[in-house]
Amino acid sequence: MLSHYQRKMRKDLNVIRAVRNAFAHSRKLLDFDDSLIVDELLSAPSPQKSKELLRDEPKRGPKVIFVNICLAALVRLVTKEKKGRERASKRAAKNFG
């Protein structure tokens, strides 16, 4: 069973992947304000803040939303890695100490 944290991380990573794939495989030149990209960004967690940003800044907003999703995923991944290393260090100290 996935925790809330894991579901949010999975959703963020899926949004990042989908946006990347849209840019990589589109036959037309896309920008972040394209409806395909905006729809995908709005499917990410915290859509209310995203909708407000898109309303207030329709041209710059999608880029900001994407960067925020990427940064949030990065922070979660780094935090998870750090905790894993701390646990491994404690186990090693216990076994060899």
- Report the percentage of the chain scoring pLDDT > 90: 53
- Tell me the pTM: 0.81
Q: Model confidence over 23-67: pLDDT tens digits?
A: 999 999 999 999 999 999 988 877 677 888 888 888 899 999 999
pLDDT of residue 44: 86
Helix locations, 1-97, DSSP H? 4-25, 35-42, 47-56, 61-96
pLDDT of residue 47: 65
The dihedral of CA 19, 22, 24, 29: what is its sign?
A: negative
Q: Which of 68, 32, 29 is nearest to 50 (CA)?
A: 68
How many domains is the chain built from?
A: 1
Beta-carbon contacts of 2 under 8 Å, excluding residues fewer than 6 positions away, are 10
Residue 9 is part of which domain span?
4-96
pLDDT of residue 97: 60
